[in-house]
Amino acid sequence: MLTVIILTLNEEDTLPQCLESLSWSEDKLVFDSGSTDRTCDIAREYGARVVQRSFDNYASQRNAALCETVSEWVLFIDADETVGSELANEIKLAIQHQHKVGWRIPRHNYIFGKLMLNAGWYPDYQLRLFKRDAGSYFVDRYVHELLDLKGSVGNLQYPIIHQNYLDVSEFISKQRAYAKHEANMLYKQGVVPRYHHYLLQPIRQFLWRYITLAGWRSGYHGILLCGLMAYSQYIVYQQLSSLRDMDSEAS
């Protein structure tokens, strides 16, 4: 009735804890994009099915994973996330609710080892639990994917636990990867970077997270994370500019 899907690429450090928290699930699918470490071996040791597919973007990867199960319901979990017993029980009850086709799940994000409850990191609802045949991911949304779900959606109470970014270097590395995909989306939309974008977009991002989303409540930790997210916006437009420069040189 339910398949739990985990997208992976070289996740040998985090996958064991993730899969241990999913022992209640009878069908676990590790959808791998070419790991060179022990990720696939670990998945099989924990009784998960393993399917491999070359990565192109997150939306396509998730849509391809949906085709690898016939379960009525699917739950997407990342390799650096865990599901506690209270959430597991809530999920089991939720999929009996035939008036809903999907459920948003709140998430506890631990960033640099500290639980972050402000600046947009909580409740951080994730639409991860849904009926397989009721939705698919928008193919033009390469990163921070959006699910196109047909039907009524509810909210669960208990959170996914997300060990998100161990240190600043990992934060910047991942944000650069996300920025690359976001820049590609903007490029395909015909967005032209202007000089003011490099200053105003990071400032808007910082003020939105620090003031509107109350990042200030988290003290220095809030200032640091809001600043890093502002820097990520600068990277997006820097990479967008590089794409347009390469296009100009090619023509």
Question: Residue 39 is part of a domain; what is its CATH number?
Answer: 3.90.550.10
pLDDT exceeds cutoff 80 at 249: no
Stated as kind and residue range, the H or E segment containing 48 is none
Summarize pLDDT for 37-76 with one digit per residue, the tens: 999 999 999 999 999 999 998 999 999 999 999 999 999 9
115 and 182 in a single domain? The answer is no
Domain final residue pick, 145, 163, 181:
163
DSSP state of 33: S
Summarize pLDDT for 184-198 with one digit per residue, the tens: 888 888 899 898 999
- Which sign, positive or negative, has the C-alpha torsion 52, 54, 60, 61? positive
Domain residues for the domain of 207 are 168-250
220 and 99 in a single domain? The answer is no
Domain final residue pick, 101, 135, 163:
163
Give residue 251's pLDDT band: very low, low, confident or very high (50, 70, 90): low
Cα–Cα separations (whole angstroms), residue 176 to 85, 212, 234 = 34, 25, 10
For residue 11, give both structure tokens.
Answer: 């996740």
159 and 177 in a single domain? The answer is no
pLDDT exceeds cutoff 80 at 90: yes
pTM higher than 0.85, yes or no?
Answer: yes
Domain final residue pick, 163, 195, 222:
163
CA atoms of 26 and 71, how far apart (whole Å): 11
Average pLDDT in the 112-137 region?
96
Number of Cβ atoms within 10 Å of the Cβ of 30: 27
Question: Residue 39 is which amino acid?
Answer: T
The rounded mean pLDDT for the chain is 94
Summarize pLDDT for 224-247 with one digit per residue, the tens: 999 999 999 999 999 999 888 887
215 and 153 in a single domain? The answer is no
Give alpha helix (H) positions in the chain.
Answer: 15-20, 39-45, 58-66, 85-94, 168-188, 197-207, 219-250
Q: How many domains does the chain have?
A: 2
Question: Residue 236 is which amino acid?
Answer: V
168-188 vs 219-250: helix axis angle to the nearest 10? 40
Summarize pLDDT for 131-162 with one digit per residue, the tens: 999 999 998 776 678 999 999 999 999 999 99
For residue 108, give both structure tokens.
Answer: 């506890």
**Interstrand relation of 160-163 and 81-83 (parallel, antiparallel or unpaired):** antiparallel
